[in-house]
Amino acid sequence: MKNIKVKEARTLITLRPSIISEEAPLQEVVRAIIDDPKHRALYVVDKNSKIIGTVDLRRLTRHIFPHFFEEDLIGRGIIDFVSSETAKDLIPHPPACVTDDDDLETAFRRMMENKLEEIPVVDKDMKVVGDLNLLELFKVWITKKRG
């Protein structure tokens, strides 16, 4: 996977990333993730279309149903978290990203380090141009095995 670039794999399963404005209200965030079931994350962008964060299905679930995660959230700003109203409010930290020119091994390591099932692919201006998910990595792996 060291010799294969992200750009060669990122459209094997998903053709386009799920992007949402930082000002999108919570209901719009939920609708966006429901409307695109191939994705498990939304990439939150600012008014200049630059990525500022990622809201994944796990984080959204913890926000919508906090009572199931009460123990995990205590001491982690639970009030701020459950009172989030926009996509921007749900972003925990700057996003992990890759570029089209990164190799798949780098992408995989970055995904595992950040506990991601998919990762945004950005250009030099930090604009989302695609995404790479674990299923696409599996597809590359199985194709190489058949090779």
pTM of the entire predicted model:
0.87
66-70, 92-96, 103-107, 138-142, range with the lowest pLDDT: 66-70
The enclosing domain of 51 has a CATH number of 3.10.580.10
Report the number of distinct structural domains present in the chain.
Answer: 1
Does residue 83 lie in a domain region? yes
**Predicted pLDDT at 71:** 56
Which position has the higher pLDDT, 103 or 39?
103
The answer, yes or no, to whether residue 76 has pLDDT greater than 60, is no
Residues 75-104: what's their mean pLDDT?
Answer: 80
Does residue 1 lie in a domain region? no
> Would you call 42 helix, strand, or coil by DSSP?
strand
> Would you call 30 helix, strand, or coil by DSSP?
helix
E strand residue ranges, 3-146: 19-21, 41-45, 51-56, 118-122, 128-133
Q: Which domain holds residue 139?
A: 6-146
Which of 2, 91, 16 minimizes the C-alpha distance to 52? 91
**Predicted pLDDT at 105:** 96
Does residue 113 lie in a domain region? yes
